[in-house]
Structure 1
Amino acid sequence: MREAVPAMPREQPFAPDRLRWRVFDALGRPGGTAEAPLRRYLADGDARKRFELADRLARVYDRCLLYRPEWIRAWEAGETPHWQARLWRRLTEGVPTPAHWVAAVDAFREAAEPSAGEREGGPRQGLAPRMREPSAGEREGGPRQGLAPREKEPSAGEPAQPPVALELPLFDKLEERQPTDKPRRVSFFGIGMLSPSYLDVLRAAESYIDIHLFVLSPCREYWSDIAPKRVIRRRAAPRRPEDDYRIEGNELLAALGKPARDMQALLAERELALGSPEESYDESSMHTALGMVQNDMLNLRTATEGAAEAPAPTGLEDSSLQIHACHSAMREAEVLHDRLLALFDEHPDLEPADVLVVTPNPGKYGPAIDSVFATAERIPFHLARRPAAGTRGLRALLDLLALPGSRYGAEAVLAPLECASVRARIGIPEERLASVREWVRNAGIRWGVDGAHRRDEGLPGVEGHAWRLGLRRLLLGYAMDDQDTLFEGMAPCPMRDGGLPAGAEDYEALGCFARYCDDAFALRDWLDEACPAREWGARLRESLVARFFAGDEWTFDDEARRETAAVLRCIDEWETQCEVETPIPFRVVRQALGEAAGAEDRMVARLADGVTVTRLGAGQTFPARVVCAVGMNDRSFPRSPGAPTFDILAADEERRGDRNVRDEDRFAFLEALLAARRAFLVTYTGRGLRDDAPIPPSVVVDELREYLARRFDGVEFEVRHPLQAFSRRYFDDSEEALYSYSDHMRNAAEALVHGQDGVPGRLQVKVDAVSDAEPAVDLDTLTRFFGAPARWFLQRRLAARLEVEEVALEEDEPFGLDGLARWQLRDRMWGLRSRGVDAPAAARLASAEPTLPEAALGTIAVTDAADAVDAFHAAMTEHAGALAAPPLPIDLLHGDMRVTGVVEAADAEEDYLVWWRIGSIRAKDRVDGWLKLLAWILAGDRQRNACLLGLGSKGLESAWLQGPPPDEAAGLWTAWLDAWAQGQSRLLPFAPETSWAYATAIAKPKRNEDGSRLRFRAKRAAENKWFGSQFGFPEANEAYAALAYDGGGPVDDPSFEPLARSLLLPLVEAGRKVRP
């Protein structure tokens, strides 16, 4: 067309992505919103609303160009008065013709058609066809050469003429090229639907060049007049004469094949497929349900006719057609993985590359499939289509553009640093990101650049938790060694917890981070600016990409370079689309770039070395031995996009060939069904996660199920899966349709099954006992073990390390102190007092802590903490002698086991030790103090006592422990060491809080309570403590305990009760409120 119409531009100015900017410009000019509907909608002057309206209008105009070309011609001729036509005329003013599709088609047809004089035998004019003498071979009946059209048989009464060839100047130009450059033939593949106007162009061109359309036709019979039964019933009074001839035919073709029917009808109307059609239809040779369904469509049989003419074998059971109802996208991916493994076992010649997975929602199901398949590492796979925003570079671009106008929350400012290109440009290595996050947390940074920014947000201009003050605290922490000194009222923030000195890499990273923050804060000025697209493009490259993204001169990392290239490509494409000179507000630029970055990668789906996962869409499915349609959920597929009130095409009566998204989706499902050569699998979310209530599938799956029910009487094709992949139903052979290939899930199911018969979910693992040659056990190690036996066993004996989940940074300033913050404040104040700082100075230092609320709320918190610390300090003063005592060495030999260590705060003259903590006295603290007391008694061979002090949420807590005599202490010590030895080879059924709850209940029987009732009540108390309540953190939720017991607990172990009795009952009985 461009050769025939040289004026046709190479870049289409009226393509939707370009046209929307022309509309945006027109709506922003004086009089652009004179029309009443536009004036009301755009009255507030919001540029984003104008851009969104322009985008919707551009897409309406684009559909009019393709499907209502006569409207466009009438609008440009001034024959239509409505506002869309007037706006269109303004858009085309001053644009060289042909600028859009309709004008290009008209120009091409005018160039291709002969003039009236030529039709009467006159001389050739302009671009009309001209005669060419046939070659010698053609005169002798040989094959047609070059670009000559097919000969046409003369009609009756028409004199026979020698073969001739018609050519255009277009083809004169082509003749001047090298022979290999001449397009002798143009072939179209994978065409599901073409607009009537595009077919008209092909009709005009097919006289001059061989055009071949390869069109998918699921039926060898004439089927353009079939319709679904619901449509036939609805047409009781036909609106068109041809409606009288509507028949149902094959139900699936009638329900799903409308675009293909319309396509074939349009081809027939234009005689594009009647010259010399070549048909290629092959019946499926598979005697399977899939093959029978495909043959029914091929021969236009209904389900009832198919069952009668080609009945299924008795007892048909095959895997060629499967429907699976699951509870979530992740469960669908797990079921898909297992079913593919089963197909590979059933068909040894099947390879992963023979499998195509299609889904209407790759953004949701792609990550689920990636997670399941990548974790199992048994089936290679390839995600053929990924959202472009999935690249971290584009994600970082959007995160940076989102900062202007935002609250500058802690997470929002740190988000771009997840991009390798940004880190390389800023100079912060990936391994330092965790440190940066910790700095932000410790500096109390929540949101806001500074006080002025907070005032702009309509809040008081305090800076307590803003970025500027937080960064100054961090820089003070770098510059000052003394953390107990204020500088201009600010408390320095140490760069490492515990006051550890920072290394050179910390200092360098802090400096780079501060510069990055300054550049990010400077983006605030962009919010209210507006300038033409070219200026925005230059600013984005110079002020954003150059400052935040690494070019070749900054990094050798290929990933970082790819991310930078993706960002620049996105900006270039946007600038190319936006050809108007009108100033564009920043908010509109940000929205447009967000849409461009979030667009799906246009990479074509292909068969890779493994399973290919791609989007389900019309014309995008290619034949594969196994096709799987995943995520076929109700309300997700087929799509039902709403039409705006100004969509005049949607309001017009539907014509044959009009695009209908819902019908296209239906046909895409039909294409997927036809593309399958050996098996077709469908999965959908068919059960509720919370209540297990049934959820209907997509309507296309429902129609397939109805067809299969009529076609194969008594055969069940749908499998309803359990909620969990480790359900015992997958492994107990009770249901043939349920099975799993996951060893991990089998082990989990077996553990649960065994747990129901014995210990629920308990880790059934034993390891070798500790070697006698191992070094002595430290006393502190012993106490840490009994504080968390499950953690110890998994970490030390099984070498299991659980990754700590990164906790999101807070982005709202505190209005009070939670338990942890209250403890931190008291611990800070106690540290100051213990280092000799007086009470007023300690209060001033604590008031500068970044974790405190602002103003009076912070003052109240500091006052409460100071009062509590003063009371605790007074209590500790009473035990000054013990606290000042030097550490006492411990070296105890018990059989082959040696325990060494020190006991601190032990007054040998008064025969008591002091154990204290800032916080409530817990069961593990009592165990810690008890073990140290027993060790001190045995080391000195003398009865002694212990005082436990704590500063809980309600104030001072104290308890005394009366130590046993040395001989009795030796027996108690032996019980603890035996438990230690057991815990080195297996999971010890002991948890301090839970076991303490059991022991305290056993130690205090109620009146007239027999032994069985006492044990039952004690176990209930222990279970309540283990699983917790709304008022406390349960031990069952501790990560290592949850892994070790997997839903169960130590209370169910037969040795739990005797262990709690032998270890903790003496501790309970030793407790005293006052000094013995």
Structure 2
Amino acid sequence: SGLSQHNTPLDAEQQWQPRLWQALIQEVQAEQPEDNATQLFGRADLHLAFVAAANQHTHRPVALPRRIIVFGLSAIAPQILDVLAVIARWTQVIVCLQNPCQHYWGDIIDGHQLFATAYRGQPPRKHSPQKNPEDLHTQANPLLAAWGRQGRDLMRLLDAFEDQISSTESAHNLSLAAFESPTSPPATPSLLAQIQDDILELRNPDELQKQPRRLMPSDSPSVQFHIAHSPLREVEILHDQLLAALQTDTSLNPADIIVMVPDMAIYAPSIAAIFGRIDRQSPRYIPFSVADQATSQQAPLLGALNQLLTLPHARIGRSEMLDLLAVPRLRARFGIKEADLPTLHTWINEAGIRWGIDAAHREQFGLPAGITQNTWMFGLNRLLLGYLSGDAQALWQSIEPYPAMDASNAALIGYLADFIEQINRYTHQLAQTNTPQAWHQLLNRLMADFFLEPSEWSEQNEPLIDNDLEAHERLLDGLARWQADCQSAHFTQPITLETARHAWLNRLEPHRLQQRFLVGGVNFATLMPMRAIPYRHIYLLGMDDASYPRRQPPSDFDLMASRYRPGDRARRDDDRYLFLEALLAAREKFVISWVGRHIRNNQKRPACVMVSQL
């Protein structure tokens, strides 16, 4: 009701949305007690009710702090600014943000005409407003115009916020602008400092051409670009670059360096392989820390569980099963020790095991019936016959025994057979549809059958990983809470494994900002807000066109995607502004790398559009 000025007709295929919402409201109203005068339906009603109640409040709430500082913003919802404006009647509200330019630059970006009021705040415009929107690019810095849409929206919202709090009698509005040119201290500023100063001064293309600048071969390269053939090779190049930088500049510490990537799940294994393999006593060792890893990357148990929950559609390949056996909790459930893994690798490889449980399992992937060769049952029969006969020539029912088996191998063969038997059983059981109650029982049994309970972990086993212990408790708790939610909603319809898996595991992923950051050494982090803080050296990896800006296709029923309003979040706009913040945060060196050549045929792969613009 408060957004009537933005009403737009819905397309015919979206008419179901208001009908569904109205039906939900009617159902909630029917369940409300008759004496309940306050009915709030969703966050919008809750927000309006809070603002109305706060405006009627005359005395300062006791629990309200005397000062609130909002720091490190890249974006903020208008509703949060409404709350801060109400609180400003009794509390000092300080909002700190990074403005890349000391002049007003909002009009140079498409969408500025959507703001309800004209710009009236600080800083002032550098040029007079252009009447023709097509001429706005002539007074714009190209990089700021290309990357700054999200920051423009933030500053315009804060401009409206200032007007809102200035209208209150008790508010004392004070704006402080602290701009410092990156080119002022050195006599010969670096290329990086000149680019940052161009953005600060809002220099347009004509002004840039008039600048008396020349790059000399002897200049220290403050902006660098590197092309690699794979993420692993990118990290190898990075390690060599860091060693050279630390050796050249003795005042540079590893903590003065940050490396940011679009997706830490892709780069974390390479970082561990390159930086983690070097002994701490080696002169080539560089201390490092990796932030923003998903829970499944930090807890091997979660990765194994994810893999087990894909069994109905999995080929049950050799490498997949060996990866599962590498998880300590799973391995211990079947009595297999870490020292047994090389033996199992040898047996599985030489017994000819490749993929598929048996012939019937392979038929699901389009193979003709009766092809048992190179399946797990085929290989296990060879191993068992080799142990029982003790004769490499003892052919039995077309099964050739695996040689070199003796009595000492009996237990390990049995453990492997038990493991494959459980895999086979759950491959069939997980393929069925079940009610939430049945899934709760089945998934609890799966946890017990594949992972050793913490209470069963003895001193003879390997050290228990703390992340695995926490993950095990959270998994069981999340499963119980999901079952309780289904019972409270009286939901008893059969559902597929995929639905149950999402409902269960999506409860476990914590907010990304809770991950470890700034814990010492070279910091590896994901490109996200509050990561691009000032560092002497900033490295960006993975800046190829396929990876960045990150793609997030909107849902078919997302009405906001086609109805942009200032302040709406868009993943690609977020990523462009994060790239701008990273460029401005670098003090001495800004290095970008990407997979620019195909690893097999050496074909050229384009860099992301921001790299091309830079």
Q: Shorter chain as normaliser: what TM range? A: 0.7 to 0.9
Contact 1:528 1:585 in 2 (8 A): yes
* Aligned-partner SS, 1:558: coil
1:217 aligns with 2:99: yes
1:472 & 1:313 partners in 2: Cα distance? 71
Which residue of structure 2 lines up, in the alignment, with residue 643 of structure 1?
A: 554
2:158 is matched by which residue type in structure 1? L
Relative contact order, higher structure (CA 8 A, sep 6+): 2
Aligned-partner residue type, residue 199 of structure 1: L
Paired residues of 2:103 and 2:201 also in contact (CA < 8 A): yes
Distance 1:535 1:213, change over 3 A: farther
Asked if 1:290 corresponds to 2:183, the answer is no
**Could you tell me which residue of structure 2 aligns to residue 528 of structure 1?**
432
Deviations 1:1005-1030 (A, max 9, x none): xxxxxxxxxxxxxxxxxxxxxxxxxx
CA gap 1:646/1:490 in 2 versus in 1, 3 angstroms: same
2: distance between equivalents of 1:462 and 1:322?
Answer: 55
Query: Does the CA-based 8 Å contact 2:532-2:585 persist in structure 1?
Result: yes
User: Is the contact between residue 627 and residue 679 of structure 1 (CA under 8 Å) also seen in structure 2?
Assistant: yes
Q: Deviations over 1:403-456 (max 9, x none)?
A: 235454444444421211111121101221232344445555555555665677
Residue in 1 that maps onto 2:15:
82
Pairing of 1:722-741 with structure 2 (within 5 A): none
What is the alpha-carbon distance in structure 2 between the residues aligned to residue 511 and residue 659 of structure 1? 55
| Counterpart for residue 451 of structure 2 | 549
Structure-2 residue corresponding to 1:257? 148
CA distance in 1, matches of 2:362, 2:542: 45
Q: Which residue, 506, 522, 528 being the options, matches 1:611?
A: 522
| Counterpart for residue 460 of structure 1 | 369
Q: Percent identity?
A: 31
Is 1:302 the counterpart of 2:204? The answer is: yes
1:360 equivalent in alignment to 2:271: no
Contact 1:530 1:585 in 2 (8 A): yes
Partner of residue 226 from structure 1, selected from 104, 108, 127: 108
1:769-808 equivalences in 2 (<5 Å): none
Deviations 1:593-621 (A, max 9, x none): 67678899654462232111111124432
State the one-letter code of the partner of 1:569: R
- Aligned partner of 2:50: which letter? F
Q: Which residue of 2 aligns with 1:385?
A: 292
Contact persistence 1:356–1:613 (CA under 8 A): yes
Alpha carbons 1:409, 1:447 under 8 Å: kept: yes
- Distance 1:225-1:350 versus aligned 2 partners, 3 A rule: same
Q: 1:447 to 1:373 in 2, by over 3 A?
A: closer
Instruction: State the partner residue of 1:589.
Output: 500
Query: What's the offset of the Cα at 1:99?
Result: 5.8
Contact 1:478 1:507 survives alignment (8 Å)? yes
Match of 1:184 among 66, 85, 101: 66
Distance 1:313 1:491 in 2: 73
2:272 is the alignment partner of 1:397: no
Q: Does structure 1 residue 129 correspond to structure 2 residue 36?
A: no
After TM superposition, the score normalised by the length of structure 1 is 0.47
Distance 1:239 1:312, change over 3 A: farther
**Deviations 1:192-212, CA, capped at 9 Å, x for gaps:** 101222222222232233322
Q: Is the 8 A contact 2:545 2:608 kept in 1?
A: yes
Shift of 1:664: 1.0
Q: Deviation of residue 264 (structure 1)?
A: 0.9
Task: Tell me the equivalent position of 2:583.
Answer: 673
1:471-482 equivalences under 5 Å are: 471=380, 474-481=383-390
- After TM superposition, the structure 1 = structure 2 runs for residues 192-211 of structure 1, keeping only pairs within 5 Å, are 192-211=74-93
| Matched residue, 2:407 | 502
Does structure 1 retain, via aligned residues, the 8 Å contact 2:150–2:577? yes
Q: Deviations over 1:250-284 (max 9, x none)?
A: 22222211111111111111326862223322222
In 2, Cα distance between equivalents of 1:388 and 1:662: 25
Matches within 5 A, 1:671-750: 671-687=581-597, 694-704=604-614
The structure-2 alpha-carbon separation of the partners of 1:464 and 1:623, relative to structure 1 and needing over 3 Å to count, comes to: closer
SS of 1:305's partner is helix
Alignment counterpart, residue 626 of structure 1, candidates 537, 540, 547: 537
Please report how far the alpha carbon of residue 666 of structure 1 lies from its aligned counterpart in structure 2 after TM superposition.
Answer: 0.7
For 1:443 and 1:493, locate their aligned partners in 2 and report how far apart those are by CA, in whole Å: 9
Q: CA deviation at 1:347?
A: 2.9
Check whether the contact 1:359–1:629 (CA below 8 A) recurs between aligned residues: yes
Contact 2:543 2:611 in 1 (8 A): yes
* Matched positions, count: 558
Residue identity opposite 1:255 in structure 2: A
How far off is 1:223 after superposition? 2.4
SS class of match (1:431): helix
Is 1:339 equivalent to 2:235 in the alignment?
no
Mapped contact 2:142–2:204 kept (Cα < 8 A): yes
* Change in 2 beyond 3 A, CA 1:429/1:601: farther
Q: Is the 8 A contact 1:257 1:670 kept in 2?
A: yes
Aligned partner of residue 422 in structure 1, secondary structure: helix
Q: Aligned partners of 1:73 and 1:582: how far apart in 2? A: 40
The CA distance in 2 between the partners of 1:412 and 1:297, in whole Å, is 50
The partner residue of 1:276 within 148, 159, 174 is: 174
Moved more, 103-112 or 509-518: 509-518
Show structure 2 runs of 5+ residues with no match. 33-38, 120-129, 167-172, 279-283
Alignment-mate amino acid for residue 698 of structure 1: C
Closer/same/farther in 2, CA of residues 330 and 491 from structure 1, 3 Å limit: closer
SS in 2 for 1:631: coil
SS in 2 for 1:367: helix
TM-score, structure 2 as length reference: 0.79
What is the letter of the counterpart of residue 675 of structure 1? A
Three-state SS of the structure 1 residue aligned to 2:98 is coil
Q: What corresponds to 1:152 in structure 2?
A: none
Query: Do the aligned partners of 1:379 and 1:611 also contact (CA within 8 Å) in 2?
Result: yes
Matched residue type, 1:416: L
CA contact (8 A) 1:416 1:422 kept: yes
SS in 2 for 1:612: strand
Q: How far apart are 1:214 and its partner, in Å?
A: 1.7
1:666-698 CA-partner distances (Å, limit 9, x unpaired) = 100110011112221122334555666654422
Deviation of the 1:397 alpha carbon: 0.8
Conserved 8 A contact 1:618-1:668: yes
| Whole-Å separation in 2 of the counterparts to 1:408 and 1:531 | 26
Letter matched to residue 257 of structure 1 = G
Deviations 1:155-204 (A, max 9, x none): xxxxxxxxxxx43xxx14x2xxxxxxx52222222221012222222222
Instruction: Give the AA of the match of 1:343.
Output: A
Structure with the greater alpha carbon radius of gyration? 1
Question: Retained in 2: the 8 A contact 1:72–1:102?
Answer: no
Cα distance in 1 for partners of 2:591, 2:542 equals 11
Shift of 1:301: 2.8
Partner of 2:250: 348
Residues in 1 aligned to 2:389 and 2:21: alpha-carbon distance in whole angstroms: 68
Q: Tell me how far apart the structure 2 counterparts of residues 341 and 687 of structure 1 sit (CA, whole Å).
A: 24
Q: Secondary structure of the equivalent of 2:311?
A: coil
Rounded to whole Å, the distance in 2 between the matches of 1:481 and 1:291 is 75
1:569 equivalent in structure 2: 474
CA distance in structure 2 between the aligned counterparts of 1:129 and 1:241, rounded to whole angstroms? 32
